[in-house]
Amino acid sequence: MALTKRQSEELAKQTFEYAPAPESTDFVKIEPSYNLFIGGKMVAAHSKKHFPTINPATEQKLSEVVEADEVDVDRAVKAADEAFDSWSRMAPSRRARYIFRISRILQERARELAVVETMDGGKPIKESRDVDIPLAAAHFFYYAGWADKLEWAFPNRKPRPLGVAGQVIPWNFPLLMLAWKIAPALAAGNTVVLKPAETTPLSALLFADICMQAELPPGVVNIVTGGGKTGSLVVTHPGVRKVAFTGSTEVGKLIQRSLAGTGKRLTLELGGKAANIVFDDAPLDAAVEGIVNGIYFNQGHVCCAGSRLLVQESIAEPLLEKLKLRLGTLRLGDPLDKNTDIGAINSKAQLEKIESLVESGIEEGAEIFQPECKLPERGYWFPPTLFTNVSQSYRIAREEIFGPVLSVLTFRTPAEAVEKANNTPYGLSAGVWTDKGSRILWMAERMRAGVVWANTFNRFDPTSPFGGYKESGFGREGGRHGLLPYLELV
Ligand code: NAD
């Protein structure tokens, strides 16, 4: 029996007390300082510079990592280049065995990896435990299967690896982005130099340990830490044949310009401003869950987040009522607590960016809603936020906020929904909520987005290609398509 409006309000007002359920950190060993992973071992850096990596939920320093310089990056590329010959000529089924082994160790060490990911990045443990780490392992497992079947993947062609791949990743899904990059590169027979983001280097350094445990031949994977400067040294190094970058559109454009004319292969996975479109025949309670998952998952630090909710005018009122009630039940706080829904914002800089965009939304005339929510005193936090009365021209409707902030717009007809959804320079993903299969297909055909989810959102699978249109980048990661950027087809 459906609840009346009053009953739902009463229910939402009840406070559910949960006893704290923090995940233990006892079995995690974070070193006070890390070196670089080059040529199969951890080596002291030429650069004498280190910088701290902190826990954004407590502002406590977790460790120190190297800011790799030109000499360090050069050593890493040379190590990868030296390893390329034997790795690319190795029997593909043997190569596959190493990649399977990595996948298995990721599963075995899943708990340790999940805790480190949560401590370094601020995301709730239930997400790193149930999404990031299992998906990273699944990615290696999936691509291990392709390693000895490349000629079947591309019939009548001779697939050949390219050489050293230079890979730069962001901080929102550190280990998962590493897996998206390294797994297809290795399966295709390339070697790798990867640079993790400056605020979340620890899971990549743990991955270095996993490569050693898997006895991966030295130099096949190399990890160099550092900031944007180190990233630019990796992508512009003349020994790198293929560049894979995931990050902001701004940096993606810079990289594209710097590689012009070099003959290097490039794939870019950049920002997004996805529309999550709810039609009047959608199951509203399911749609509310999908909207919450679409924008508040990982504090909204998701390139394909459903940050623009397009709702059909006739159901806007009941849908928003349900959504606001649901926001009141989200639990914000200690990311290591297994009951936490919303963790810490990844860094002070990101928090400031979110605050300034939210400020602009208020100034431009949008109406803000935030549930009552006590923020911890230390660390970087932002409550789940929803804006109504939003016009398409407002910054909050156009720019990627990369935080737990939803802008709500309305539409009357499917054609208007299409026009508004596509009215963005980005094109990474979209969501459609409706009871009609024919409408899903009609909408999917018209969305200028790499992924269109139907009656769900933020679902990922290693077998499924992911990537953007327009300023969201080019090239695909995942699936058979994800092998192509790492191969020359003769
Ligand atoms: P960012 O572009 O600032 O940084 C990404 C990475 O690039 C970091 O490792 C950084 O150190 C490095 N970097 C910075 N300047 C560089 C330069 N000049 N040359 C080479 N490397 C450089 O982005 P961010 O703030 O870390 O990440 C958030 C962005 O990433 C968002 O815009 C988000 O949408 C995007 N993202 C996209 C996807 C996708 O698959 N499309 C996935 C995750 C994140």
Q: Which of 244, 233, 239 is nearest to 185 (CA)?
A: 244
What's the 373 CA to ligand 1 centre distance in angstroms?
A: 30
Q: Write out the two tokens for 364.
A: 């431009």
Q: What burial class does residue 481 get, using C-beta atoms within 10 Å of its C-beta: 0-12 exposed, 13-18 middle, 19+ buried?
A: middle
- In the reported structure, the alpha carbon of residue 403 is separated from the centroid of ligand 1 by a whole-number distance in angstroms of 15
Distance from Cα 247 to the centre of ligand 1, integer Å: 2
Q: Across the strands, what pairs with 407?
A: 308, 387
Contacts of residue 336, Cβ cutoff 8 Å, sequence gap at least 6: 22, 23, 25, 57, 115, 118, 119, 125
Q: Does 198 contact ligand 1 (Cβ within 6 A)? A: yes
Spatial separation of the C-alpha atoms in residues 113 and 12, rounded to whole Å: 35
* Cα distance between residue 486 and residue 409, in whole Å: 40
In the block, residue with structure tokens 């065995």: 97
**Is 303 known to be catalytic?**
yes
Please name the residue whose Cα sits nearest to atom 41 of ligand 1.
Answer: 269
Query: Are 192 and 179 a contacting pair, CB within 8 Å?
Result: no
Mean pLDDT, consecutive 10-residue stretches, the chain (490 aa), reads 67 72 94 98 97 98 98 98 98 98 98 98 98 98 98 95 98 98 98 98 98 98 98 98 97 97 96 97 97 98 97 98 96 97 98 98 98 95 98 97 98 98 97 98 97 97 96 96 96
pLDDT at 155: 93
pLDDT at residue 17 in the model: 76
Q: Is 155 helix (H, G, I), strand (E, B) or coil?
A: coil
Q: Which of 67, 269, 400, 471 is catalytic?
A: 269
**Does any ligand 1 atom lie closer than 6 A to the CB of residue 230?**
no
The verdict on the CB of residue 402 being under 6 Å from ligand 1 is yes
What's the pTM? 0.96
For residues 330 and 289, is the Cβ–Cβ distance under 8 A? no
Residues 6+ apart with CB under 8 A from 152: none
Please name the helix (run of DSSP H) or strand (run of DSSP E) that holds residue 411, with its range, or none.
strand 405-411
Alpha-carbon gap, residue 317 to 311, rounded angstroms: 10
Supply the pLDDT for residue 3: 65
Select which of 23, 211, 303, 471 is catalytic: 303
- In short, whether 201's Cβ falls inside 6 Å of ligand 1 is no
**Per-residue pLDDT at 15:** 61
Whether the CB of 333 sits within 6 Å of ligand 1: no
CA of residue 271 to ligand 1 center, whole Å: 9
Residue 289 annotated as catalytic: no
- Of 172, 181, 401, the residue with max ligand 1 atoms within 8 A of its CB, to mutate for a pocket test, comes to 172
The pLDDT value given to residue 4: 73
- What are the phi and psi torsion angles at 115 (to 5°)? -65, -45
Instruction: Provide the pLDDT for residue 164.
Output: 98
pLDDT value for 13: 61
Pairing of strands 275-278, 265-269: unpaired
Say yes or no: CB of residue 270 within 6 Å of ligand 1: yes
Would the CB of 343 count as within 6 Å of ligand 1?
no
CA distances (Å), 392 to each of 79, 309, 409, 421, in order? 50, 12, 8, 10
Cross-strand bridge partners of residue 65: 51
Q: Is the CB of 171 under 6 A from ligand 1?
A: yes
Ligand 1, atom 19: nearest CA belongs to which residue? 232
Q: Quick one: CA dihedral 193, 197, 198, 202, positive or negative?
A: negative
H helix runs in 147-283, sequence order? 150-153, 174-187, 202-213, 228-236, 249-259
Is 137 near ligand 1, meaning CB less than 6 Å away? no
Token pair recorded at residue 147: 């390693």
Q: Put residue 333 in one of left, alpha, beta given phi > 0 → left and psi -120 to 50 → alpha.
A: left
- Of 176, 223, 251, 353, which is best to mutate to test ligand 1, by the most ligand atoms within 8 angstroms of its C-beta? 251
Instruction: Decide: residue 111, CB within 10 A, 0-12 exposed, 13-18 middle, 19+ buried.
Output: middle
